[in-house]
Amino acid sequence: MPATQHPRGRADAQRNRQRLIDVAHRAFTTGDAKVSLESVAKEAGVGIGTLYRHFPTREALVEAVYLAERGRLCDAAAELLTQQPPEQALRTWMNRFADYIATKREMADALRALFADGTVTQSQAREELSTAVRRLLAAGSAAGTLRADVQAEDVVAALVGVVSVCTLPEQREQAGRLMDLLMDGLRRG
């Protein structure tokens, strides 16, 4: 195949892959544990063969959705800092973290399998999340609004604790109050 044909093919394949991830994300977060791969392919506007070319198993699709969502969450730290003061950016990021965890709950069985076989590691996830929080804390410390002596890993652990005890949708308000308490402890002065 001539080199001029490859870029279009790769671009089409990337668009198809991204559409499949986006559709699967929406499907997995509706609360319907029995989302069919055929319905994901159909809604993404591709054939089932295209889905299986990108994601040979349901677990592979779940992994891609999970990693894409985690990447978006981590990338949001830098984006939020361009739009809000650091302490407000951190609090907004905490809300996004809670949304991220809620999304993971809908894919829990498949994610447990990925963690069990080592495909996805909790230490890798914690490190990526801590890096995002570290950026937010450093900006707040430089601005004089957040404490400089806080470890990002401790903030991530606290957030995991909050969302672990407030697992139901009707507990989201309580989770917000607990995150506000956490923010009070992070503020300087």
Q: Among 5-14, 35-44, 99-108, where is mean pLDDT lowest?
A: 5-14
Q: Are 115 and 121 a contacting pair, CB within 8 Å?
A: yes
Specify the pLDDT at position 11.
86
The pTM score is: 0.81
Domains of the chain are 1-56 (1.10.10), 58-189 (1.10.357.10)
CA 3, CA 76: separation in Å to the nearest integer?
Answer: 36
Q: Are 136 and 81 a contacting pair, CB within 8 Å?
A: yes
Residue length of the chain: 189
Element (H, E) at 54: helix 48-54
